[in-house]
Amino acid sequence: MTTGAAERHAALCKEIAAHDYRYYVLDDPSVSDATYDALMRDVRALEATQLSLVSADSPTQRVSGAPREGLRKVVRAAKMYSLDNAYATADVAAFVTRCVDALADDAIAFCVEPKLDGASLEVTYDAGKLTLATTRGDGAVGEDVTNNVRTIRSLPLTIAYSGRLTLRGEVVLYRRDLATLNEARERDGLEPFANPRNAAAGSLRMLDAREVAKRPLRVMVYQLVEGPELHARHSESLAWLRTLGLPTHGLDVCVRAERIDDELARLDRTRGEYPFETDGAVVKVDAYALQDRLGFTSKYPRWAMAYKFAAERARTRVIDIVIQVGRTGALTPVAVLEPVLLAGTTVSRASLHNGDQIAELDVRVGDAVLVEKAGEVIPQVVAVDSSDSSARGEPFRMPTSCPACGGSVSAKLRDEEKPELGAEVALRCTSRRCPAKIKGALLHWSRRFAMDVGHLGESLVEQLVDTGTVTDAASLYDLTFDTIVKLDRMGEKSAQNLVEAIGASKARPFSRLLTGLGIPQIGQVAAKQMAERIRSLDALLAMGDENLRTELAAIHGFGEKMIDAAVAFMNDGETRALLTRLSDRHVSLPEAVVERIEGPLTGHRVCVTGTLSRKREAVHTAIRQAGGTVHESVKKDTTDLVAGESVGQAKFDQAKKYGVRVLSETDLDALIAGTSLLP
């Protein structure tokens, strides 16, 4: 290898790390996407010609290969303690007095900083390289999540410090990133995360780092545990860590005891301005020597205290507790509330999650309750006001049969992807004829990203199912104008519109039908891949078990769970009958797969987003005809993002994250026509 290449590679890696820092930590990018892309391309090109340059700390190696079986346990040198909690400033004052008395010093400096609401993490750098990352676990023993944490771009893989450095921090999600992540999850038929904390904790412990890389996680370092004894104070260490390019919150202030209350109030006032959630503040004795003298109880450091902010709460009354049954049959209890204003919106319903939660809170109809916005997403009942039990009803019991159909329910563990839920049990209706499930399935079928049946809204679906006119997706295609026009509040024009919309949906490609079926584990993108492989509904119906398994296994990214779910789905007699009836009614067209064509876009993987001058489908076809591949969303290996009008910032952020080039529609046309000056 030439030394020149090695030097150039090192310089490029350093430059990319500096841009990552500006972008992910400072939120202040210093170069254009194109420049960043060009740097990444140069690194890849060098590594392609000289394999020895590919080291663990190259920016091309953030995501590692195959999923793991489980997480390795790691015994840590210094226990990770909890923090003692204060809910009133008087408790903080008592903590300060304890410190002053124990140290016989009334001029102690305290550091006040935000308490980040995410999942705790410990990270070790050895000889300048990120070598280990562990979860808190039980404090003494954590779990090795190094591969997952390496995908978090706000955390550098290398730092300019050659000794051993052990840090603690919090894995967080910015509020705006959670919103984007939840939108994507809902599109894929997955449950949205209730708050950034759950999303961070769940993501951190996933077994496939490639999946973690898709989650917009960030790290905020809040403590130096092991390192050079350069500094005598916690606040000085934080400042030093910042100079190493490590992400810290940068919001710590050092004050004397009498100023603590003001600082707590200031953090509480301003916390809505930060992009991340904070659920309180932490007050720490700043000088390490004093921390050492104070030491620890069995659970907490005696030199620190967490002060929990009062969440925005409102008091109201429970009018009723109802059970919602969704498309999958899951039974979710919901409190119907007297409408109340909370954090700027009127709240009249709040999720109670499950029977365990109701029992723990002992919420009953008629209770006066406190509601809170969890991570500012979904309102929740957090407590019953026991001083007002005048209208209190009987204890609430989860039903033993489905409230929508009277069918039996089964208890199953919740989504495995959410380990933070532990052994939480979900009740599901097992009946196939349950009207609530049928309604959910029909609404899913007709959604824009599935079969796109216009004019088929919630109230119409209610009527169609309740009157027994429609029993499943196939029977939708037997509806006639005469039947529809007889429905309540249905005019001739509306009936005609619906007939036409149902007819038009027959011409959707096979992939949309697969999406519309809501096969467990198979979201929109997987459905598209499956359709490109299998081509048509009739081909799918003609396939035997083994054959289907083999075909699915050949699809990039299809793991065992997905394959098992799809095969089990197809093995079901009723599913097959439904699919046969759909086929008899000529619902869906074979997936058009453009054969690989050599053209100006060969090797380009292009995602199109926003409003363009022509239909999205037309642009997709043009890309395929020019030899390119279409990506439905921006992925790690997408090369170009064609952005039309009104594209959300999140899309651009994602493009930047994966080093995807952003093009206008005109750029794309020029590339296709071969008149572009772009590479």
How far apart, in Å, are the Cα atoms of 353 and each of 323, 360, 472? 10, 12, 28
Chosen residue from 120, 148, 180, 524 binding ligand AMP by CB under 6 A: 120
Radius of gyration, alpha carbons of the chain: 28
Instruction: Point out which span in 112-120, 192-200, 525-533, 623-631 binds ligand AMP (CB under 6 A).
Output: 112-120
Q: For ligand AMP, give the closer residue by CB, 17 or 238.
A: 238
Told to judge if 506 belongs to the known catalytic residues of this protein, a careful annotator would answer: no
What minimum distance in Å lies between the beta carbon of 222 and ligand AMP? Answer: 4
Please give the Cα distance from 298 to 168 (Å, whole number): 19
Instruction: Point out which span in 111-119, 204-212, 227-235, 600-608 binds ligand AMP (CB under 6 A).
Output: 111-119
Q: For ligand AMP, give the closer residue by CB, 204 or 409.
A: 204
Please give the Cα distance from 37 to 39 (Å, whole number): 5
Query: Residues 298-327 vs ligand AMP: string with x where CB under 6 A?
Result: --------x---------------------
Burial per residue of 538-576, b for 16 or more beta-carbon CB atoms within 10 angstroms, e otherwise: eebeeeeeeebbebbeeeeebeeebbebbeebbeeeeee
Two structure tokens written together for 180 = 């984007």
Chosen residue from 16, 43, 116, 579 binding ligand AMP by CB under 6 A: 116
Contact between 515 and 530 (Cβ < 8 Å): no
Tell me: does residue 222 bind ligand AMP (CB under 6 A).
Answer: yes
Give Cβ neighbours of residue 4 (< 8 Å, ≥ 6 apart). none
Chosen residue from 113, 263, 367, 632 binding ligand AMP by CB under 6 A: 113
What minimum distance in Å lies between the beta carbon of 90 and ligand AMP? Answer: 19
What minimum distance in Å lies between the beta carbon of 512 and ligand AMP? Answer: 43
Q: For ligand AMP, give the closer residue by CB, 250 or 339.
A: 250
Q: For ligand AMP, give the closer residue by CB, 120 or 166.
A: 120
* Amino acid letter for position 258: E
Tell me: does residue 170 bind ligand AMP (CB under 6 A).
Answer: yes
Catalytic residue among 79, 115, 437, 615: 115
What minimum distance in Å lies between the beta carbon of 300 and ligand AMP? Answer: 8
Span 333-372, contacts to ligand AMP by CB under 6 A: none
Torsions phi, psi for 621 (to 5 deg) = -60, -45
Return the DSSP state at 365.
Answer: T
Two structure tokens written together for 211 = 């999946």
Tell me: does residue 24 bind ligand AMP (CB under 6 A).
Answer: no
Q: For ligand AMP, give the closer residue by CB, 284 or 512.
A: 284
Instruction: Point out which span in 108-116, 226-234, 258-266, 648-656 binds ligand AMP (CB under 6 A).
Output: 108-116
Tell me: does residue 282 bind ligand AMP (CB under 6 A).
Answer: yes
**DSSP letter for each residue of 499-515:** HHHHHHHTTSBHHHHHH
Give the bridge partners for 589, in sequence order. 509
What minimum distance in Å lies between the beta carbon of 211 and ligand AMP? Answer: 23
How far apart, in Å, are the Cα atoms of 634 and each of 481, 498, 600, 643, 674? 42, 34, 21, 11, 24
Q: For ligand AMP, give the closer residue by CB, 299 or 596.
A: 299
Span 455-474, contacts to ligand AMP by CB under 6 A: none
Q: For ligand AMP, give the closer residue by CB, 116 or 498.
A: 116
Q: For ligand AMP, give the closer residue by CB, 116 or 145.
A: 116
Contact between 133 and 144 (Cβ < 8 Å): yes
* Amino acid letter for position 299: K
Strands (E), 247-330: 253-256, 278-285, 304-308, 313-325
What minimum distance in Å lies between the beta carbon of 249 and ligand AMP? Answer: 7
For residue 280, the SS3 value is: strand
- Count of residues that interact with ligand AMP, criterion CB under 6 A: 12
Span 76-95, contacts to ligand AMP by CB under 6 A: 80, 82-83
Please give the Cα distance from 567 to 570 (Å, whole number): 5
Return the DSSP state at 347.
Answer: E
Instruction: Point out which span in 23-31, 113-121, 393-401, 533-541 binds ligand AMP (CB under 6 A).
Output: 113-121
Chosen residue from 9, 62, 115, 508 binding ligand AMP by CB under 6 A: 115
What minimum distance in Å lies between the beta carbon of 266 and ligand AMP? Answer: 15
What minimum distance in Å lies between the beta carbon of 71 and ligand AMP? Answer: 18
Compute, in degrees rounded to 10, the torsion defined by CA atoms 374, 378, 382, 386: 150
Compute, in degrees rounded to 10, the torsion defined by CA atoms 524, 529, 534, 536: 40
Catalytic residues: 115
List of residues contacting ligand AMP (CB under 6 A): 80, 82-83, 113, 115-116, 120, 136, 170, 222, 282, 306
